Amino acid sequence: MRPGSRLLLTLTACLLIGIVVPLTSHAQNECGVVDRIDFPVDRMVFELVQDYAVPSPRHQGRYHTGEDYAAARVMSLGTPVRTIAAGRVTFSAPTGWGRDGGVVIIEHAFPDGSLAYSMYGHLQATERYPFPERYTCIPFGAVIGAIGDVRPAPHLHLEIRSAGPDLPGPGYAREVSGDTVFLAPSPFIRNWQAWLDPAHRWHVLLPEADRLISPPVEFSDHSLLFATRDRVRYATSDGRVLWRIVPETPLAALSWWNDQPLLTDQDGGMQLVNLDGTLGERWQTGIPVRAPALRLGDRLLFSTPQDRLVAFAADRRELAWEIDGIPPVTAFQAAGDIVGILSEGDVLSVITGEGQLLSQEVRPTHLAASPQGRLLRWDAEGLLEWDNGWLPATLPDLPHAPESALTANSGSLYQYSGETRLITGFDAAGQMRWQTPLTLTGQPTLTLINNLLLLISDDGFITTLQADTGATCYQMRLYGDGRGTPWHSLGSDGLLRVGLANQIIGLDWTTLVGGCTP
Residue 353 lies in a domain: no
- In this structure, the dihedral spanned by the alpha carbons of residues 125, 127, 128 and 133, taken in order and rounded to 10 degrees, is 60
Contact 353, 337 (CB under 8 A): yes
Which residues are CB-neighbours of 509 under 8 A, at least 6 positions away? 490, 494, 495, 496
Cα separation values, 365 from 170, 301, 358, 380, Å: 46, 21, 17, 8
Residue 465 lies in a domain: no
Average pLDDT over residues 216-220: 95
Burial 115-149 (b: 16+ CB within 10 A, else e): bbbbbbbbbbbeeebebbeeeeebebebbbbbbbe
Residue 162 DSSP symbol: S
Residue 225 lies in a domain: no
For the range 270-275, what are the long-range contacts, defined as Cβ-Cβ under 8 Å and sequence gap of 24 or more?
A: 270/316, 270/317, 273/225, 273/232, 273/245, 275/234
pLDDT-based confidence at 415, cuts 50/70/90?
confident
Residue 120 lies in a domain: yes
pLDDT at 373: 82
Residue 172 lies in a domain: yes
pLDDT at 1: 38
pTM for this prediction = 0.88
pLDDT tens, residue by residue, 279-322 = 999 999 999 999 889 999 899 999 999 999 999 999 999 999 99
Residue 370 lies in a domain: no
Q: Is the pLDDT of residue 399 over 70?
A: no
pLDDT at 120: 98
pLDDT at 395: 61
pLDDT at 473: 95
Dihedral sign (CA 284, 290, 294, 296): negative
% of the chain with per-residue pLDDT over 70: 91
pLDDT at 122: 97
pLDDT tens, residue by residue, 320-351 = 999 999 999 988 899 988 999 999 999 999 99
Cα separation values, 135 from 90, 102, 161, Å: 6, 17, 18
Q: In this structure, how many other beta carbons lie within 10 angstroms of the beta carbon of residue 246? A: 7
pLDDT at 396: 57
Three-state DSSP class for residue 509: helix
* Structural domain range at position 55: 24-186
Residue 259 DSSP symbol: T
pLDDT tens, residue by residue, 161-192 = 999 999 999 898 888 876 789 999 999 999 99
CA 95 to CA 252: how far, in whole Å? Answer: 52
Which residues are CB-neighbours of 383 under 8 A, at least 6 positions away? 376, 377, 392, 393, 395, 396, 397, 398
Q: Is the pLDDT of residue 13 over 90?
A: no
Q: Is the pLDDT of residue 9 over 60?
A: no
Give the least confident one: 114-118, 380-384, 460-464: 380-384
CA 21 to CA 492: how far, in whole Å? Answer: 44
Average pLDDT over residues 60-69: 90
Q: Is the pLDDT of residue 223 over 80?
A: yes
pLDDT tens, residue by residue, 132-164 = 999 999 999 999 999 999 888 999 999 999 999
Residue 63 lies in a domain: yes
- The whole-chain average pLDDT of the chain stands at 88
Element holding 296 (H helix, E strand): strand 290-296
CA 242 to CA 246: how far, in whole Å? Answer: 14
Element holding 262 (H helix, E strand): strand 260-265
pLDDT at 518: 64
What burial class does residue 158 get, using C-beta atoms within 10 Å of its C-beta: 0-12 exposed, 13-18 middle, 19+ buried? Answer: buried
pLDDT at 398: 58
CA 169 to CA 181: how far, in whole Å? Answer: 11
% of the chain with per-residue pLDDT over 90: 67
pLDDT at 30: 84
Three-state SS letters, 326-351? CCCEEEEEEECCEEEEEECCCEEEEE
- In this structure, the dihedral spanned by the alpha carbons of residues 186, 187, 188 and 194, taken in order and rounded to 10 degrees, is 110
CA 75 to CA 90: how far, in whole Å? Answer: 29
Average pLDDT over residues 75-103: 95
CA 232 to CA 252: how far, in whole Å? Answer: 12
Average pLDDT over residues 426-430: 78
pLDDT at 11: 33
Q: Is the pLDDT of residue 408 over 90?
A: no
Average pLDDT over residues 344-369: 93
CATH code of 55's domain: 2.70.70.10
Contact 353, 339 (CB under 8 A): yes
Residue 98 DSSP symbol: G
List the helix and strand counts (H, then E) for the chain.
4, 44
Task: Write out the DSSP string of 190-241.
Answer: HHHHHHTSTTEEEEEEPPTT---SSPPEE-TTS-EEEE-SS-EEEE-TTS-E
Residue 251 lies in a domain: no
What burial class does residue 82 get, using C-beta atoms within 10 Å of its C-beta: 0-12 exposed, 13-18 middle, 19+ buried? Answer: buried
Residue 266: which of 238, 304, 309 has the closest Cα?
304
Average pLDDT over residues 394-412: 66
Q: Is the pLDDT of residue 272 over 90?
A: yes
Q: Is the pLDDT of residue 405 over 90?
A: no
The structural domain count of the chain equals 1
pLDDT at 406: 73
Q: Is the pLDDT of residue 511 over 70?
A: yes
pLDDT at 394: 66
Q: Is the pLDDT of residue 421 over 80?
A: yes
CA 447 to CA 512: how far, in whole Å? Answer: 14
